């Protein structure tokens, strides 16, 4: 059970609120059901030409949580053949009436639409109720983390030892004197609006900065993986090459990094990013944070989620580069 202490879980918020030194995971016993047949299946690995390449999957699962925005449902879903292993994760709807009348533990099926840059679900249909309570609070796994202070704009970024995609160790303090854009990903992330979008926005930012008249020369981009087991320097190097091939990114000022889990945990928690490996797969449940550190090493801007655009990032990077 070497992996057990690495797993964190879905009540991180509650545990953090209590100031505990470890995360607790609540587990669910999966109901064995035959895997659903996909309505349309195209290979998710094939490069997506234009926006017309929309994949559609038929998905079954249980409602774990309905978010207050009325547009997000967290589902413990079955395997989606040719796309994603069984896991618990959030899905977006485009109209709130898709989720009207749903409650926790409802058994549902729906259509998952995956376009090039976003995903959403529709045709949400309730088919029953989970037979057992969703959580077994007696089952726990732990991973040790440091107790850290959350950082706000103006706070200094602590120094973190990491390893870049060339396998070279470095420290985040080495970027002092440069504006640093920092985001968090894992390379296997299949959802176009999560990690792939972070990498797309960074790629767009490198291109914008290259075209910008009087662009600063003291900036750097840093994508840190929280999948410390799978995202080795060699995997990150391949991923960097893929991002360059797909989006024409300039990699001369962009580092992909990994590190010790306790360091990555420390760094991500500073900004409210949480990640938890799904119990049945290599996938992570996670949220998104992108941070700009100014040239003096202080937090300049924190972008939450995936709605920000590359020009907004560039604007903040330019400002942050001017700080003495």
Among 10, 124, 181, 195, indicate the residue that binds Cu ion (CB under 5 A). 195
Beta carbon of residue 155, minimum distance to Cu ion (angstroms, whole number): 26
How many of the chain's residues bind Cu ion (CB under 5 A)? 3
Output 194 or 271, the one with its CB closest to Cu ion.
Answer: 194
Output 191 or 313, the one with its CB closest to Cu ion.
Answer: 191
Q: Which residues pair with 164 in a beta bridge?
A: 257
Using the contact rule CB under 5 A, the part of the chain among 171-179, 189-197, 226-234, 251-259 near Cu ion is 189-197
Beta carbon of residue 184, minimum distance to Cu ion (angstroms, whole number): 9
Beta carbon of residue 288, minimum distance to Cu ion (angstroms, whole number): 8
CA distance 134 to 187: 30
Output 59 or 189, the one with its CB closest to Cu ion.
Answer: 189
Beta carbon of residue 190, minimum distance to Cu ion (angstroms, whole number): 8
**What burial class does residue 199 get, using C-beta atoms within 10 Å of its C-beta: 0-12 exposed, 13-18 middle, 19+ buried?**
buried
CB distance 9 to 276 below 8 Å: yes
Distance of CA 98 to the CA centre of its chain: 25
Output 197 or 301, the one with its CB closest to Cu ion.
Answer: 197
Using the contact rule CB under 5 A, the part of the chain among 113-121, 169-177, 185-193, 254-262 near Cu ion is 185-193
Beta carbon of residue 84, minimum distance to Cu ion (angstroms, whole number): 11
Which residue is nearest to Cu ion, using beta carbons?
189
**DSSP H or E stretch at residue 110:** strand 106-114
Output 195 or 291, the one with its CB closest to Cu ion.
Answer: 195
Among 110, 175, 194, 202, indicate the residue that binds Cu ion (CB under 5 A). 194
Sign of CA dihedral 94, 98, 101, 104: negative
Output 108 or 195, the one with its CB closest to Cu ion.
Answer: 195
DSSP per residue, 50-73:
STT--EEEEEEEEEEEE-TTSSEE
In terms of phi and psi (left: phi > 0; alpha: psi -120 to 50; beta: otherwise), the region of 10 is alpha
Q: What residues contact 100, with CB distance under 8 A and at least 6 apart?
A: none
Among 28, 108, 182, 189, indicate the residue that binds Cu ion (CB under 5 A). 189
Output 198 or 209, the one with its CB closest to Cu ion.
Answer: 198
Beta carbon of residue 276, minimum distance to Cu ion (angstroms, whole number): 12
Q: Please, what's the b/e burial string for 108-146 (b: 16 or more CB within 10 A of its CB; e: otherwise)? A: bbbbbbbebeebbbeebeeeeebeeebbeeeeebbbebe
Could you say whether residue 273 binds Cu ion (CB under 5 A)? no
Beta carbon of residue 193, minimum distance to Cu ion (angstroms, whole number): 9
CA of 156: how far to CAs of 3, 48, 212, 293, 311, in Å?
33, 41, 28, 9, 25
Output 195 or 320, the one with its CB closest to Cu ion.
Answer: 195
Using the contact rule CB under 5 A, the part of the chain among 12-20, 182-190, 209-217, 249-257 near Cu ion is 182-190
**Residues at the contact surface with Cu ion, assessed by CB under 5 A:** 189, 194-195
């Amino acid at each position: 059970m070497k992996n057990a202490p690495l797993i964190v879980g879905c009540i991180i918020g509650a545990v953090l609120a209590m100031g505990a030194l470890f995360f607790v995971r609540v587990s669910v016993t999966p109901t064995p059901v035959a895997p659903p047949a996909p309505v349309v299946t195209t290979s998710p690995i094939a490069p997506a030409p234009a926006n017309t390449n929309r994949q559609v999957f038929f998905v079954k699962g249980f409602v774990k949580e309905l978010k207050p925005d009325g547009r997000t449902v967290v589902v413990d879903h079955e395997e989606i053949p040719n796309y994603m292993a069984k896991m618990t994760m959030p899905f977006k709807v485009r109209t709130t009436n898709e989720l009207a009348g749903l409650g926790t533990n409802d058994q549902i099926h729906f259509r998952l639409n995956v376009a090039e840059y976003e995903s959403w679900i529709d045709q949400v249909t309730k088919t029953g109720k989970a037979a057992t309570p969703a959580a077994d609070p007696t089952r726990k796994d732990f991973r040790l983390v440091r107790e850290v202070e959350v950082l706000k704009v103006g706070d200094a970024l602590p120094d973190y030892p990491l390893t870049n995609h060339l396998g070279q160790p470095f420290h985040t303090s080495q970027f002092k004197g440069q504006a640093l854009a920092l985001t968090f990903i894992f390379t296997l992330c299949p959802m176009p609006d999560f990690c792939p979008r972070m990498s797309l926005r960074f790629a767009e930012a490198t291109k914008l900065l290259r075209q910008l008249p009087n662009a600063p020369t003291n900036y750097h981009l840093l994508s840190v993986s929280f999948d410390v087991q799978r995202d080795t320097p060699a995997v990150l190097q391949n991923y960097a090459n893929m991002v360059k091939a797909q989006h024409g990114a300039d990699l001369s000022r962009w580092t992909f990094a990994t590190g010790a889990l306790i360091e990555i945990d420390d760094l991500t928690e500073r900004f409210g990013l949480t990640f938890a490996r799904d119990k049945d797969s290599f996938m992570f449940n996670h949220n998104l944070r992108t941070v700009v550190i100014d040239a003096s090493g202080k937090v300049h801007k924190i972008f939450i989620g995936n709605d920000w655009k590359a020009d907004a990032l560039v604007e903040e990077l330019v400002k942050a580069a001017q700080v003495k």
